[in-house]
Structure 1
Amino acid sequence: MRDKRMQLATTLLESHTIPIKEIAERTGYRTQHYFSFSFKEYFGVPPSSWKENNMLSKEESIEKRQGNLCK
């Protein structure tokens, strides 16, 4: 059950438009605090860091693709 909740959480975090509080609610956590605690315990980083790192990875990927197109 927890694996499914965390998988859904990462999918929702990748959207970058859904607040973490809402992600906590959608994944069945009653509070954002407990969701963040559980997420960090599971992945080793808080959801805010996951979201930020994922956003940077996507931006780098886009930049690389655009750079390849210009060559």
Structure 2
Amino acid sequence: MQKSESKETTQLCNYAFSLTVEQAKEGDNEALLRVLEEMQSEIDSLAGFLKLPKEEGIQEITAEFIEKIRG
């Protein structure tokens, strides 16, 4: 029983995240900030693979991510 609750919780979280992304695409800056906060650990991790200083890598990835959402 607990596994199905976990799966339902994950599905609910995924749905909420999808809605937040849609709001960000429609120009909601608050939603965009929430999406970026949610993705921050992934962005930090990916920045380590770039041949740039980490902070510059984070900025590049974040800028590209925003462009994809808003573009």
TM-score bracket, normalised by the shorter chain, equals 0.3 to 0.5
TM-score by length of 2: 0.36
TM-score by length of 1: 0.36
